[in-house]
Structure 1
Amino acid sequence: MSVKILALDTATENCSVALISGDQVFARSEVAPRDHTKKILPMVDEVLKEAGLTLAEVDALAFGRGPGSFTGVRIGIGIAQGLAFGAELPMIGISTLAAMAEGSFRKHGHTEVACAIDARMSEVYWGRFSRQENGTWAEVDAECVIPPSELVQQIEKDQSVWHLAGTGWGAYQETLSELSLDLGSSESDVLYPEAIDIAYLAQFEWVNGNTVDAEHASPVYLRDKVTWKKLPGRE
Structure 2
Amino acid sequence: MTDLDALAFARGPGSFTGVRICIGIAQGLGFGADLPMIGISTLKAMAQGAYRIAQATNVASAIDARMNEVYWGRFERLESGDWQEVDQEQVIPPSVLVENIVADEHTWTTAGTGWDAYSEPLSTLAITTQASEVLYPEAQDIAYLAQFELAKGNTVPAEEASPVYLRDTVAWKKLPGRE
**TM-score higher than 0.5 here?**
yes
Structure-1 residue corresponding to 2:68: 122
**Partner residue, 2:78:** 132
Identity level (%):
68
Matched, 1:57 2:3: yes
Q: CA RMSD in A?
A: 1.1
Answer yes or no: is 1:198 the counterpart of 2:135.
Answer: no
SS in 1 for 2:81: coil
Any residues of structure 2 matched to 1:1-235 within 5 Å, and which? 55-183=1-129, 185=130, 187-224=131-168
Which runs of 4 or more aligned residues in structure 1 lie more than 2 Å from their structure 2 counterparts after TM superposition? Answer: none
2:174 is matched with none
Unpaired runs of at least 5, structure 1: 1-54, 226-235
**Alignment partners' CA distance in 2, 1:69 and 1:200:** 23
Q: TM-score, normalised by structure 1?
A: 0.71
For normalisation by structure 2, the TM-score amounts to 0.92
Q: Distance in 2 between matches of 1:111 and 1:224?
A: 31
1:45 corresponding residue in structure 2 = none
Aligned mates of 1:58, 1:73 — CA distance in 2: 22
| Rounded Cα–Cα distance in structure 2 between residues aligned with 1:177 and 1:224 | 28
Q: Deviations over 1:99-138 (max 9, x none)?
A: 0000000000000000000001110000000000101111
**SS in structure 2 opposite 1:57?**
coil
Show structure 2 runs of 5+ residues with no match.
170-179
Give the Cα separation in 2 of the matches to 1:144 and 1:224.
12
CA distance in 1, matches of 2:9, 2:73: 18
Count of matched residue positions in the alignment of Structure 1 and Structure 2: 169
Aligned partners of 1:86, 1:167: CA distance in 2, in Å? 34
